Amino acid sequence: MEQIMEQMPVVLHSLNIGFIQTLKLFFVTLIGAFPLGLLMSIGSTSRIKPLSWFIKLLIWIIRGTPLMIQLLIIYYFPGLVLHNPIWGGGETGRFLAASFSFILNYSCYFSEIYRGGIQGVPVGQEEAGLVLGMTKTQIFFKIKLLQVIKRIVPPMSNEIITLVKDTSLARIIALQEIIWAGQAFMKGSQGISGAIWPLFFTAVYYLIFNGILTLLLGRLEKKLDYFR
């Protein structure tokens, strides 16, 4: 115990740096996947058949395979197979590849949530808007959007909390996120080696961050409770 208290400052410092990388991946994924998912949901319900087939195929592949495999393929395939390492080297390259993989993966899940949310708004809402002389754009922004948001908040909350934990998969391509930072103390880093507790301790970070997110998302859900 005494030893742990001694190691604590060094470990926390390292874990904090790792967690910042975790947060960066988390937010970049959200910022990318929110709009891309919406575009994909529009594409997958499009009347242009080749487009909707292509997107459905993509969603099937991405949802049907592990994110870890996707990370490995996206990161290593260009360099090792095509001999064209598009991601570049070092941590920046790993972060770019990880961001790309996560955005792609989460866009597919989000697009299905959006699709459900949009299709869940009764047709009567659109028809009521039409007979009142509204344009399609007005109907979407003034009538449907808030109803869609209300519908998608609970499933989105689930995905967002899963995403927090999924960022740890980026460890597989050695992205220096918090798991990587914790593991470093097993092999030896900054004078500490063979210590497994830093790795276990990373769980506290996830737990606290997810606790905050749960509170915020719960509050948003409450805010939209004023209508049914």
Could you say which residues in the range 146-185 bind other proteins, by CB under 8 A? 146-147, 150
Q: Applying CB under 8 A, does 83 fall inside the site for other proteins?
A: no
Binder of other proteins out of 125, 158, 190, 193 (CB under 8 A): 125
- Least separation in angstroms between residue 22's CB and other proteins is 36
Q: Applying CB under 8 A, does 119 fall inside the site for other proteins?
A: no
Q: Which stretch binds other proteins (CB under 8 A): 11-19, 98-106, 125-133, 181-189?
A: 125-133
Q: Which stretch binds other proteins (CB under 8 A): 23-31, 79-87, 136-144, 175-183?
A: 136-144
Can you tell me the distance from the alpha carbon of 29 to that of 105, in angstroms, rounded to the nearest whole number? 9
Q: Which is nearer to other proteins, 6 or 221 (CB)?
A: 221
Q: Which stretch binds other proteins (CB under 8 A): 24-32, 49-57, 138-146, 186-194?
A: 138-146
Q: Which stretch binds other proteins (CB under 8 A): 107-115, 130-138, 180-188, 206-214?
A: 130-138
Paired residues of 189 in beta bridges: 192
Q: Are 97 and 87 in contact (CB under 8 A)?
A: yes
Binder of other proteins out of 135, 162, 190, 193 (CB under 8 A): 135
Chain-centre distance for alpha carbon 72: 17
Can you tell me the distance from the alpha carbon of 107 to that of 142, in angstroms, rounded to the nearest whole number? 25
Q: Which amino acid is at 97?
A: A
Q: Which is nearer to other proteins, 132 or 208 (CB)?
A: 132
Q: Which is nearer to other proteins, 135 or 214 (CB)?
A: 135
Going from the C-alpha of 126 to that of each of 114, 115, 132, 140, 180, the distances in angstroms are 17, 16, 10, 8, 50
Q: Which is nearer to other proteins, 94 or 151 (CB)?
A: 151
Chain-centre distance for alpha carbon 122: 29
Q: Which is nearer to other proteins, 149 or 216 (CB)?
A: 149
Can you tell me the distance from the alpha carbon of 25 to that of 72, in angstroms, rounded to the nearest whole number? 16
- Which of 67, 150, 68 lies closest to 106 in space, CA to CA? 67
Binder of other proteins out of 1, 5, 48, 131 (CB under 8 A): 131
> In sequence order, which ranges of 120-196 are alpha helices (DSSP H)?
123-131, 136-138, 145-166, 178-187
